[in-house]
Amino acid sequence: MAFIDYYKVLGIPKDATEQAIKKAYRKMARKYHPDLNPNDKTAEQKFKEINEANEVLSHPENRKKYDAHGKDWKDADAYNQARQQQGQNRNYQQQGSSQFDQGGFSDFFESMFGGGSRSSRSQARFRGQDFNAELQLDLKDVYTSHKRTLTVNGKNIRMTIPAGVENGQVIKITGHGGPGANNGPKGDLFITFTINNNTPFKRDKANLYATVDLDLYTALLGGDITVNTFDGKVKLTVKPETQNGARLKLKGKGFPVYKKADTFGDLFITYDIKMPTNLTEKEKELFTELSKLR
């Protein structure tokens, strides 16, 4: 448990007045407030630290206690005294929770003042903090809608993951964030999806792209081939004299469109014509003959 210099956190001297503390807190809060720094974990952490520092230094009793134990922090007796204080203070824990406090105060704070000894600055009811979580899925997982149980902050949440979710997409689950202040409503949970693609298909929104190898003779003379789509195999007729790099669209064989049931993108197939190798003497002879005809 590391000693935290709350004065340093707020950038103020040890003899700072109450007004100076308030001013420093406001200044820092404006810089690191989560509303002003969306999706910035560093700012969120910093905001927690300055909140904690303000919580201690803006209350004369807390500040006095902090000053007394803080300066002799390395002394073992003072440490033990603080630990005893922890036991007593825990009995007075309140359920108050700042709307931006996800992980609680530091161990240091809790050892000095108990887990939730902050006071409420405002009587207004505010909704709780929004939580952010990341969910990694494979591309095949988001081809169909399915239910999944997530554990967020120790709570199990059963949610439907809609087909067609994109990489980086954020989904809001209402009411699964932090508890509100003064009985305000709970915040929301925002889940960011990271989609890993381990398939031979490339995805651009709802369209899929794939390359299919084609032998020279089928490309020249035409024929039937079987190709893989995301949900199975399909038979294709290759036109005679198909060129290398020719592209074919298989309508509706792409990826599901997000939140549009039964609507799919397209699958684009690009032919990659493979030249025969290790030609026999007879084949060379015949190709030479062919070349003379052109």
Partner 1 sequence: MNTKNVITITEFCQHYDIPESFIISLSEFELIEISTETETPCIYVTEIQSIEKLIRFHYELDINIEGIHAITSLLNRVEQLQENVKSLNNKLRFYEDVD
Residues that bind partner 1 (CB under 8 A): 26, 29-30, 33, 35-36, 38-39, 99, 122-127, 166-169, 197, 202-204, 209
Alpha-carbon distance of 90 to 176, in angstroms, equals 27
The least CB distance from residue 39 to partner 1, in Å, is 7
Residue 143 or 209 having the CB closest to partner 1: 209
Where do we find the tokens 């406001």? 26
Nearest Cα neighbor of 229 from 268, 263, 273 is: 268
Residue 239 or 259 having the CB closest to partner 1: 259
Alpha-carbon distance of 211 to 93, in angstroms, equals 63
Query: Do the Cβ atoms of 21 and 54 come closer than 8 Å?
Result: yes
Residue 35 or 289 having the CB closest to partner 1: 35
Residue 34 or 116 having the CB closest to partner 1: 34
Residue 35 or 262 having the CB closest to partner 1: 35
The least CB distance from residue 267 to partner 1, in Å, is 15
The least CB distance from residue 161 to partner 1, in Å, is 18
The least CB distance from residue 211 to partner 1, in Å, is 8
Nearest Cα neighbor of 255 from 185, 204, 210 is: 204
Query: Do the Cβ atoms of 15 and 7 come closer than 8 Å?
Result: no
Which tokens is 157 given? 């949440």
Residue type, 118: R
**Spatial strand order in the sheet of 189-196:** 131-138, 189-196, 170-173
Residue type, 114: G
Query: Do the Cβ atoms of 227 and 212 come closer than 8 Å?
Result: yes
Residue 30 or 147 having the CB closest to partner 1: 30
